[in-house]
Amino acid sequence: MDGIRLETDRLVLRRFGVQDMAALHLLLADEEVNTFLPCFPSKSMEDTRRFYAQRLAEGKYCFAVCLKGREEPAGYIKADEGGCHDFGYALRKEFWHRGFATEAGRALAGLLKADGVPYITATHDRNNPASGGVMHRLGMRYCYSYEEQWQPKNTPVVFRMYQLNMDGQAGRVYRGYWEQYERHFIEADV
């Protein structure tokens, strides 16, 4: 994996290493943080290592989010390389409501744009409006909502899908979730 490192006014985005597993475990084991993550809370370091191996280790656009001057990650941020270019993040609770997700998101979006990625998408549970706020602050536009039986938690969730087109094609909308899920709609009050 290359040594890409991004810096903002307050943050360093860098690759994860084995030295970061304890900090990642703090994040993933927290039940409140985990409420809107696509996994169950980590019960062991083995669970954390498995999450890391499956979701963060190999991704070109997966980064530990660290405050400048601190090596311990406050969370992670990522964007998938596949068709939807899905953007996601998680931060430990003590770093919520301080603008770190937006700041890290801007840095990652800048890298993606420089690399020629045409757009990114992001989804949030309708019951998690704080993530929707991050998407708005990143300049993402609400496109539609859809309901899925969310796995592995096996619970019905209405997701709101946002998109940021970075190549000038303002009208493009990723339709993958719309086509995949039978119950989809556009909310007027988003």
pTM above 0.75, yes or no: yes
Mapping DSSP to helix (H, G, I), strand (E, B) and coil, where does residue 131 land?
A: helix
What is the structure's pLDDT at 151? Answer: 83
Domain total of the chain = 1
* 1 found inside a domain: no
Q: Could you tell me the CATH number of the domain that includes residue 78? A: 3.40.630.30
Question: What are the C-alpha distances in Å from 129 to residues 12, 26, 100, 116, 135?
Answer: 26, 23, 16, 29, 10
With a CB cutoff of 8 Å and minimum separation 6, the contacts of 34 are 28, 40, 41
Residue 160 · residue 142 · CB < 8 Å: yes
Whether 190 is in a domain gets the answer: no
Cβ-based burial of 32 (10 A; exposed 0-12, middle 13-18, buried ≥19): exposed
Structural domain boundaries, residue 129: 6-185
Q: Does the residue 173 lie in any domain?
A: yes
Please indicate, yes or no, if residue 174 is contained in any of the structural domains.
yes
The pLDDT value given to residue 150:
84
pLDDT for res 1: 47
Tens digit of pLDDT per residue, the chain (190 long)?
467 999 999 999 999 988 999 999 999 999 999 898 888 899 999 999 998 998 888 889 999 999 999 999 999 999 999 889 999 999 999 999 999 999 999 999 999 999 999 999 999 999 999 999 999 999 999 999 999 998 888 889 999 999 999 999 999 999 999 999 999 999 998 9
**Any domain includes 77:** yes
Q: Does 31 fall in a domain?
A: yes
